[in-house]
Amino acid sequence: MSLKEYKEKRNFSKTAEPIEPRLQKKSDGLVYVIQRHQASHLHYDLRLEEGGVLKSWAVPKEPPLKEGIKRLAIQTEDHPLGYEDFEGIIPEGQYGAGKVEIWDKGIHIPLEVTHEKRIVEIKGKKLQGKYCLIKLKGKDPDDKNWLFFKLKNKKYISNT
């Protein structure tokens, strides 16, 4: 859980992305955000607050609004808390150059968290309900491919 990779990839004299995490804790719950990122390839960056950072996955197609759609989600470097508010243009020549817009935002409730799996209840505007992220077993332990999909609501009962 370090922001080393995040910082190494960026030149903060050129990009307006945040360099340090925001200090103030938000009281309303754990961050959930999806940023639509028109980089060289359009993708959707899913970020979930966990352990003081935003765990991040790049989803190459529109995130699933309903059950029955499975999306590839490629894990990317942890992002700082506060990044959920970032919108703007990352300049040409910089890492992730292109337009970033908030596509959906809210909070999430972790229901099951393991190294290779997350089950979370998402409370956004577009995405609502229980979602699963599950790591695909690749040949290389460094593989970063996950699947992201919506669960049938009755499968997990949360106490909220």
**Would you give the binding string for Mn ion spanning residues 40-59, x where CB under 5 A is met?**
-----x--------------
DSSP 63: P
CB of 117 to Mn ion, least distance (A): 23
According to CB under 5 A, which one of 17, 18, 33, 37 is a site residue for Mn ion? 37
Closest to Mn ion by CB, 38 or 128: 38
Closest to Mn ion by CB, 34 or 119: 34
- Quote the tokens at residue 122: 């998402």
First to last CA, the chain: 28
CB of 45 to Mn ion, least distance (A): 4
Name the one range near Mn ion by CB under 5 A: 38-46, 48-56, 113-121, 147-155: 38-46
The residue sitting closest to Mn ion, measured at its beta carbon, is: 37
Angle at 46 between CA 136 and CA 137, to 5 degrees: 5
What is 80-127 written as a DSSP string?
ETTGGG--EEEPTTSTT-EEEEEEEEEEEEEEEEETTEEEEEEE-SS-
Residue 125 CB partners (closer than 8 Å, separation 6+): 104, 105, 106
Distances (CA, A) of 111 to 14, 38, 70, 130: 39, 31, 19, 9
Name the one range near Mn ion by CB under 5 A: 10-18, 35-43, 104-112, 133-141: 35-43
CB of 18 to Mn ion, least distance (A): 14
How many chain residues bind Mn ion (CB under 5 A)? 2
79: contact with Mn ion by CB under 5 A: no
CB of 96 to Mn ion, least distance (A): 5
Q: 141 pairs with which residues across the strands?
A: none
Query: Which residues contact Mn ion by CB under 5 A?
Result: 37, 45
